[in-house]
Structures are given as C-alpha cells and as structure tokens.
Structure 1
Amino acid sequence: MPFSGVVEFVGREAELENLHHLLQENQQVAVAAIVGMGGVGKTELALQYANLHRVTYQGGICWLSALQDVGLQLVQFARNQLQLNPPDDLDLLGRVQYCLTKWHQGEVLLVIDNVTNYREEVRCYLESVPSRFKQLITTREKLQLPIVRLDLDVLTPLAAMQLLKSLVGEERLRREALIARRLCKWLGYLPLGLELVGRYLLGDEELSLTEMLRDLENERLKNPALDEAQPEMTDKLGVAAAFELSWRRLGENAQRLGCILSLFALAPIPWELVEGITINNEAQDWKRARRGLLQLHLLQLKGEGIYQLHPLLREFFQDKLTGLEQAEELKRSFCGVVVAVAKDIPQTPTIQQIKDITPAIPHLAEVANNLIQYVTDEDLIWFFVGNAGFYNGKGLYNQATSLLEQCRKIVEQRLGNEHPDIEILLNNLAVLYHSQSRYSESELLFQQILALKQHLLGEKHPDIAFTLNNLAEVYHSQGRYSEAEHLSLKVLALRQRLYGKEHLDVAQTLNSLAGIYFSQKRYKEAELPFLQAFLLRLSLLGEEHPDVAMSLNNLAYFYYSIGRYNKAELSYQKALALWQRLLGEEHPYFLTSLYNLVNLYSSQGKYSKAKLLSLQSVVLSIKIWKKQNPDVANSLNNLGKHYKSQGKYSQTEPLLQRALEIFEQTLGKNHPDTVYMRENLADLRDRLTSEQ
C-alpha cells in the first residue's frame, strides 16, 4: 500500500464507520466507492480504512492504481505476495480469474485508487468475483448502482483547525486563532489545501499565519504553498495540478461553464441566472455542461436550482477564464444578466420580493465590486439604484447609501455631472439621507436636483412637483413647518392641475400636507387630507400595499392625538399587521407603528401592554439602527414614559437622558423634538429633586 503521510488523521471518524458498515454489514454491497472532488482526501480515507481493518481482511489487502492496468497489477500482486503462478497460456482476464479463484482464504479487500472509468478500468476484470472479495474504489466521478457511494465532503471548520494544528502546532495556532479560522475558510476546508499550507508553514517557522493569508489572497493558486506537494505527503500534487486532472476530462462547453460560474460571487448560485448567459447572443445548453461538472464533483448542488463552487475551484476556473477566447464577452453577458435582476427590484420591496431577490444579492455585490467596468453606461445608474432598493426595503439604509455613494463616484468619473440619469441617482441618495435623519445633506441634494430640473424642464413639469414634495418633507422633518406647508400647497395645486384628483401623486401630497398640519397641532385641518390620502391609496392600490399601511399609521396617530383611542388602536393594529406581512418586523416602518401603539396603551393606562411593546421597540430599534438614530431615541423615550407613569422616576431619567443625547446629535439642539425631550427631562429632574 502507499505510504500515508498524515501527521494526525482528523474529522473522518464517521466516514470510517460508514465505510466499514457498507463493506461488512451490508451483504448486498459488492463495490463501495469513496467519491469526491480532487483534494478532498479520498485516497487517505481508503488508506486509513485499510490500515485500521487489517485484521478483518485475513485474505489480505491488495492496493491497485487505476492509473495503470488493474489486471496486470492484480496478477503481479498475486505472484509476489501470494506465490500464485497462473498458467502462461491464459490471457490476462483468465490469469486474473485464476488468481481470484486460488486466493488465500478469508475476506479480501481490493482497493482500486483513482478510478476514472469503472467499466473499462475495473469492471472488465472484476465483474464476477466471490463475495468474500470487497471492492473499495476512489473516484471523482458519481458512479451509479450497483456501486454504493460514500460521498466525501470537505472538513468541518473544527476538523480543519485540528488538521492545521497537527501541522503547525497548538501554540502557533493559538497566537493567531482568528486568522487561522480565516485561513481555513479561504482554503474552503479542503484537506489537500490545508495540508499543503500547514506543511509550508511548518517549513518556515518565522512566517506568520497573517502573512500566509495575505500572500494567498494576493497570489491565489500561484502561491508556492499550494503549488507543490511535499515528498512525505500522501497526495503528490499541488492544488492546481489536482484540479487539472478533472479539467482535462471536461468537454469544451463544461470547461466554459466552469469559467462562467467563477464570475459569480463565492456564494450559492441560482441556476436561472446562469441560463441567461449567452455566447454571440445565442442561448447555450448549459444543463448538459452542468452534468459534466457535477459528474466530476467540480460543482455542488446545494438545493433545488441552487449550485455552488468550492472556493479553490473558483480560483482555478478564474485562472482558466483568462485563457478563454470569449472571456470578455462572457463577462459582459454575465453582468447583463445580473443587471437585469437589479433593474427589476422595486424601491420598497415586500417580504416575498426580498426573499425572491436575496439569492442574487451576493452576485450583484460581486459585479459592483469587481466587474463594474463591464456594465454599460445605460445600465450603470439603474444597477446601483435597484441594488440599493433591496437594502432600502430591508431598512438597511447604511448599506443602501454606501452603494449609491459608490455609484455617484463611478458615474461622475465615467459619465460626468450632467448625464440625464444623474438626477435619478441623486434623488434616491437624498431620500436615503432623509431616512437616516441626515437632513442637511438631503436638503442640499434636493435643491441641486430642483435647480437642475427647473433649468432643463421649466417650472410646471411633473418632475418639478416630485422634487418639491421631497424637499417639503425634509423641511417638515427639520421642524421648518411654514416652508414645508408652502411647498406642499404648491405641489398639491400643480399635481391636481396635471393629473386631476384621482392620482397616487396627489395622495402622496395630501398625506404630506396632513402631516405638516398635524405636527403644528392643527388637527381639524389635518383630518380631511389624512382621510383623503388613505381612501385614494386604498382605491388605487388595494389593501396589501406599504403606502396603505403608512396612511393607516398616520390616521391612527391622528386619532390618538385627538383622544379617539378605539379608532386609533384599530388602525395601528391594521398597520402593524400589514407591515409585518409586507416588510417584516425588522423594518423602520413596523417600528414606527409599534412605538405609536406603545404611546396609545400608556395613555389608556394599559401599562403591562405598553411595557412589553416598549421593550420590543427598544430591541428592534437598536437592531435596525444600531444606536445613533431618532427612532432609538423614540423607543427609549417610550420606555421612559412607561416608568414615569408608574412613578419610577429614577429608572426613567437615564432613558430620557440618552434619548436627548441622540436627538441632539441627529436632529440638532433646536429641533422641536429635541426641545420637547429637553423639557421633559427637566420636568423629571424637578420631580426627583422635590422628592429628595
């Protein structure tokens, strides 16, 4: 048998047991196959099994390599080890059968390593053998029944760390434990890669794991640690050479598909994205090519319609891509498919839409970070706007903002500041700034957009009304109510003149105007536009829409403020149920309705309900916003109100103090909400002083 160079065999205990069960306890199994990708440790597992169970196989263990003629090797083994001499007048098959018939008593283990074609390499000699002969083969191919497969996967993260520790030592691993985990992950927990890198580190004790990881990230498969096996290793090939054996057995289209898959992010790949990739604008039969990759374990099926490449195979295919004649065309086609996904993402996607889009998101990020030069000028802005829409829909405004800011830099470099679509990008960015309470930045962008539109389109164009409405909402958020009201009335008149009264844009303006009246406690003026906006949206959009939920929340808040608590509670509950169905609980809109309901319950004296929802809102707000956002302050304030209503002033003070700090940092010291919070805190401290 070959020499095993393993220092410590780890992570395969269950596989050893399963293999023994297949060969010994299942009498129906004539042939068992250890199956897996190159470098996963098939040969080593077979070696460990053979050494562990020498006593079981009293008739001997015969190790054969399918890289040479199996029949010749078997006859040679019988002559040298068993002193059998088959007659010279028999052909090779006859001599094999003679040896099998005369073999020593007891069970026999025949190990055939590196099988690439079982029918031609093995079955022709061993099709009918006595049941005491157990055949164990190692192969990269997915063989079919009656051969029973033991599919060998990469190591678990824990086993990978144990393997690395056995080579570099516990102390060295302990000093850089986090880097060691990253190193194992970069190698995809592949035993061959781990052993190569471990032995390389063993040979250079001054090389840190941090330096090793940095070099691998820079040099990829060309790094000398992965390039050549050490003489004492079981496997004699480097990673690229091991993969090359499988590459040569692929058809041209399967090779091309492997290269295409390497363009995707290191994440599960939805097959529907692959099917859209063309060559010379012609669809390809990628399914047949996929079969070739799966057959040789060069691609993993992760779920229905979902596939993934091993990290090191992805590196290998990326290297091969550089040598393909169609490499540039494939990159453009790949980017076109991914861009199409981004362009279909709505600005406020529902939970189901987010769920449907999520598998494609890592691949959108891959294009944004590494292949953006292959996105056409026409698609550039829409790609980023759609991608940002996904994060916006999840309430992850920081990620959405980062994408649009990245887009702004790229657009200015590629297209200049006066490209017709630049306004779309700036508008989306301004809306996101507004959502994050970055009002000054939002106002500045909206004013830039307004000036640009007025110059190009004139004062009465529908797009002017759109920007004026957004600017009015920023003024409203800043507490600049007279400016906000003036703009909203102007927008309402313009939109009604353009569209009539039955239009969603009119509903949007009515809702904004009602909110401005409401913030000034002009409740009689606020009620009618709130109702009009709600009824318009319900009529035009149907009940299952985020804008309807928003109108319900606004109506509920209005009813609460004028003391109509029953109507307020019913509307809040409807809004919360809608938000939960459409956007999920971890979204700012759900949070807004939640702490509004907290205020309502507190006002009604329903303190147990109020406390429960207050705690939920604090947890959710910190989860969504981290710590610096007005919504976090509102949640803290609501919890403080609950304690205050019960006379627990000492528990209330730190909550209101923190809420005031957040308001001052995010809204400014003179914002109405900040002033109101400061007054509440001062009142509370007066009460605490009077009680002492």
Structure 2
Amino acid sequence: MSMKFPSTLALFVIGASAIGFAGCAQQKDAVSLRNEAQLLTNKAEFSRAEELLRTQLAHDEKGYGTDSIEVTPNLDLLGDLYLREGRLGEAETMYKRSVAIKEKNLKPYMMDLSTSLNGLGRTLTARGHMIQAQPVLEQAIQLREENDTTNGVAIADSENSLASFYVGSGHYAEAESLYKQSIAHYEKSIGKGSMEAANVRNNLASLYYVQQKYDLAQPMFEWVLSIYERNLGDSHPDVASVLNNLAELHRHKKEYGVAESQYKQAIQIFEKRPGADTNPSLACILNNQALLYAAQNRNLDAEPLARRAVAIYERSAGASPVAVANALRTHATILSACGRAEEAKQVQEKASRLISASR
C-alpha cells in the first residue's frame, strides 16, 4: 500500500499540499480561481477543479503564450490534481512542461522551479521510475535549501517526498530520518496539529508498518485519523486511506474483527463518491478486504471482492500494471481455494502476461 501483495504497498502515502506559486500576482481573478481550484482539489472534487484550471490555462496561454511563466501555476496545480487522482501520466506531463518553462527563467523562479521538480519527482516515484526520480527530488531539495523563503515549509515538503522515494527503494533508515526531519520542520513552522505534519506522520507510520513495528505504527495512524477527521470531516478520501492503513495493520496482527470494520468504513466512503467504479484506491481496499477474508478461510466472501477489485483496476486509467497483476493474483489464489482451478489458472496467466508486457 508486510504491505505487499506480492510486491506493492497496500497502504496510502500522502504528499504535502502545494507550497504556492510566484507570478501572476497582478491577476487577482486568476489567483482567486486557482485558490478555489486548490480548495476543490483538497476536497477531492477533482472534476470541478480540473475544469477551472483548464479554463485558466487556456486563458493564460492565449494572453501570454504557451511557454510563458504565467502559465506554470496552472500546470503545477493540474499536476497536483492528477497526482492526487492517480492519473500519473498526465501529472508527469504537466510537471515536465512546467519545469521546462521555469528552467528558461531560472534565477527569478528558483523556489517556483523547486515546486515543479518536487511534484515531478513524487510522480516518478509513484510510477516506480526510481532512477529518474532521485536526481529530480535531490535537485528540488537543494534548490529549496539554498533559496528557502517559506520558513522551512518547502524543505519539509521535499524531505517528505525524498523519504517516500527511499521507502520505495528499500532504504528504510534514510526514509525514517527524513520523515522525522520533515515532521520537525512542519511542527516548528506551522504547528504539531497541522495537516502537513499529519500527512508525514501517516507516511512514517506506514514505514513502521512495513518493518512490522506495529506498536509504533498504530498510535501514529490513530493520531493521524483524528487530525484528518477534525480537519476534513469523516467522509473525505484521506480519512478512508488512513482507515485502510489501520485495517491493514490489524489484519496483520490477526485482529480480524477490527480490520473488517475499518475496511467497510473506508469502502463506504469511496463508494459514495463520484467515479467509484474507476477508483484504484477503492480497488486497493477491496483487494485488502478479500485478503482478510481469505486469511479466515472465508473464500466465498472473498471471491466477489477480489473480482470487483480487478474490474475496477482494469477500468482505471491511473492503475499501474503491477497493481492490476497483483489483484489478479489475489483473485487467482482465492479461486483456487474455492475449487475453481481452471478459472484460477486463466486469471494467473493473465497476470503473468500483464507483467511481461509492462517490462
């Protein structure tokens, strides 16, 4: 999201909010529109946010030119939005275009460039492109350390991003150190109860979970959940993500009743939102709940959940081939346990073909 089945994290890692953007300060209407779009993104109202940002991008491209610095705030916010939605290819395109424009105007926009680089690095990490991600993230944090104007907030954002890269690369000690530095920067700058600090604590708790340090992970997840519910309400997707994280922890501790309740709460949140049938986050939780039932030999309960998870992943534009293949393998294992050997074989072969095609 161990958190791996068989090789991908089943927990949700959460990035910090965008830091803000230089340029276009003279256009109050544009700034207000972007602020509204960012609020909508934070509320997971992605379609409305995208419509606003696309409209403003077209307006600025017409007024200033497609390669002007004035268009980059729109590109960065669209990149943030697509990354949140799991539309990783589109996020990468937005950030790369923004980076290219800002590099032409490097000196005046050092911190602004670092925002685009950090977003691009996070996207490359999420896509599993680790060799490409590392230098991008390191460049972003270097620019921020040399040019910080945010009282440490931007540096904390980069530390969180680089730590998540290290988790994906299996360098857990480096990741833990950076997560702790990021939390310290956020708490010093904007307070212990801030959403930004909570996001990083979620990620640190996920790291502890990977290492089976459940006694460290559980209270941290519970603290994050309380912060999210207070700030976002109890029906926000980020609340569902932390519920999934807690459920995964309880599943691996064999506390099946607690885990089942938390999976169901998380699923209910996502099912009430538009686009549930193409949401890879919902598919992930359904797959996890199927694994929970399989662990209890409740394979007849598990099979429809696993089948639905596969169907959602296959419809989702943001799902990675590895995630789809892992869901197929879960389904194949459960079909086999149900005595449906021929179906299981076909599903397993489909998973193998998908992995081979993605290499």
Q: What TM-score, normalized to structure 1?
A: 0.43
1:410 correspondence with 2:101: yes
1:388-537 aligned at under 5 Å gives the runs 388-413=79-104, 415-416=105-106, 419=109, 420-457=111-148, 461-537=152-228
Amino acid at match of 1:345: A
Report if the CA contact (8 A) 2:144-2:155 is conserved: yes
Residue 354 of structure 1: which of 43, 46, 50 is its match? Answer: 46
Structure exhibiting the larger radius of gyration computed from Cα positions: 1
- What is the CA deviation profile of residues 178-213 of structure 1, one whole-angstrom value per residue up to 9, with x for unaligned ones? xxxxxxxxxxxxxxxxxxxxxxxxxxxxxxxxxxxx
**Of Structure 1 and Structure 2, which has the larger fraction of its residues in helix?**
2
472-481 or 372-381: which moved more?
372-381
Alpha-carbon distance in 2 for matches of 1:342, 1:621: 31
Structure 1 unaligned spans of 5+: 1-331, 669-692
Alpha-carbon distance in 1 for matches of 2:172, 2:351: 23
| Residue 430 (structure 1) shift | 2.0
Alpha-carbon distance in 1 for matches of 2:171, 2:353: 21
Report if the CA contact (8 A) 1:347-1:393 is conserved: no
Amino acid at match of 2:75: F
1:667-682 aligned at under 5 Å gives the runs none
Amino acid at match of 1:560: R
| Residue 547 (structure 1) shift | 2.3
Report if the CA contact (8 A) 2:186-2:196 is conserved: yes
- What is the CA deviation profile of residues 227-249 of structure 1, one whole-angstrom value per residue up to 9, with x for unaligned ones? xxxxxxxxxxxxxxxxxxxxxxx
| Residue 361 (structure 1) shift | 6.6
Residue 258 of structure 2: which of 550, 567, 581 is its match? Answer: 567
Report if the CA contact (8 A) 1:395-1:624 is conserved: no
Alpha-carbon distance in 2 for matches of 1:588, 1:501: 31
SS at match of 1:371: helix
Which residue does the alignment assign to 1:596? Answer: 288
1:615 correspondence with 2:315: no
| Residue 657 (structure 1) shift | 5.6
Alpha-carbon distance in 1 for matches of 2:42, 2:285: 17
- What is the CA deviation profile of residues 81-128 of structure 1, one whole-angstrom value per residue up to 9, with x for unaligned ones? xxxxxxxxxxxxxxxxxxxxxxxxxxxxxxxxxxxxxxxxxxxxxxxx
Alpha-carbon distance in 2 for matches of 1:430, 1:484: 15
Amino acid at match of 1:596: N
Alpha-carbon distance in 2 for matches of 1:496, 1:366: 38
Alpha-carbon distance in 2 for matches of 1:484, 1:664: 30
Report if the CA contact (8 A) 2:37-2:52 is conserved: no
Which residue does the alignment assign to 2:333? Answer: 641
- What is the CA deviation profile of residues 504-561 of structure 1, one whole-angstrom value per residue up to 9, with x for unaligned ones? 2222222111111111222222212111211222233332333222211111111111
| Residue 488 (structure 1) shift | 1.9
| Residue 583 (structure 1) shift | 5.6
Q: CA, structure 1 residues 465+336, in 2 after alignment: closer, same or farther (shift >3 Å)?
A: closer
Which residue does the alignment assign to 2:11? Answer: none
Alpha-carbon distance in 1 for matches of 2:177, 2:89: 31
Which residue does the alignment assign to 2:297? Answer: 605
Amino acid at match of 1:353: E
Which residue does the alignment assign to 2:240? Answer: 549
Amino acid at match of 2:158: T
Q: CA, structure 1 residues 473+393, in 2 after alignment: closer, same or farther (shift >3 Å)?
A: closer
- What is the CA deviation profile of residues 287-326 of structure 1, one whole-angstrom value per residue up to 9, with x for unaligned ones? xxxxxxxxxxxxxxxxxxxxxxxxxxxxxxxxxxxxxxxx
Report if the CA contact (8 A) 2:114-2:141 is conserved: no
SS at match of 1:488: helix
Which residue does the alignment assign to 2:279? Answer: 587
Q: CA, structure 1 residues 531+502, in 2 after alignment: closer, same or farther (shift >3 Å)?
A: same
Q: CA, structure 1 residues 358+408, in 2 after alignment: closer, same or farther (shift >3 Å)?
A: closer
Which residue does the alignment assign to 2:76? Answer: 385
Alpha-carbon distance in 1 for matches of 2:305, 2:138: 39
| Residue 495 (structure 1) shift | 3.5
463-472 or 652-661: which moved more?
652-661
Report if the CA contact (8 A) 1:437-1:630 is conserved: no
| Residue 382 (structure 1) shift | 0.8
Q: What TM-score, normalized to structure 2?
A: 0.78
| Residue 434 (structure 1) shift | 2.6
Which residue does the alignment assign to 1:630? Answer: 322
Alpha-carbon distance in 1 for matches of 2:254, 2:40: 32
SS at match of 1:344: helix
Q: CA, structure 1 residues 390+494, in 2 after alignment: closer, same or farther (shift >3 Å)?
A: closer
Alpha-carbon distance in 2 for matches of 1:480, 1:426: 22
Q: CA, structure 1 residues 659+429, in 2 after alignment: closer, same or farther (shift >3 Å)?
A: same
- What is the CA deviation profile of residues 398-426 of structure 1, one whole-angstrom value per residue up to 9, with x for unaligned ones? 2232222223223334x237623111111
SS at match of 1:421: helix
- Aligned CA-pair RMSD: 3.5
| Residue 468 (structure 1) shift | 0.9
- What is the CA deviation profile of residues 583-633 of structure 1, one whole-angstrom value per residue up to 9, with x for unaligned ones? 631223222222112212222333233221222211211221488532212
Alpha-carbon distance in 1 for matches of 2:107, 2:335: 53
Which residue does the alignment assign to 1:305? Answer: none
| Residue 386 (structure 1) shift | 2.5
Alpha-carbon distance in 2 for matches of 1:494, 1:360: 32
Report if the CA contact (8 A) 2:88-2:318 is conserved: no
SS at match of 1:349: helix
Amino acid at match of 2:131: S
Report if the CA contact (8 A) 1:342-1:387 is conserved: no
What percentage of residue pairs aligned between the two structures are identical? Answer: 21
Report if the CA contact (8 A) 2:67-2:101 is conserved: no
Report if the CA contact (8 A) 2:299-2:334 is conserved: yes
440-449 or 467-476: which moved more?
440-449
Report if the CA contact (8 A) 2:221-2:245 is conserved: yes
605-614 or 385-394: which moved more?
385-394
Report if the CA contact (8 A) 2:329-2:347 is conserved: yes
SS at match of 1:501: coil
**Of Structure 1 and Structure 2, which has the larger fraction of its residues in strand?**
1
- What is the CA deviation profile of residues 109-160 of structure 1, one whole-angstrom value per residue up to 9, with x for unaligned ones? xxxxxxxxxxxxxxxxxxxxxxxxxxxxxxxxxxxxxxxxxxxxxxxxxxxx
Report if the CA contact (8 A) 1:625-1:632 is conserved: no
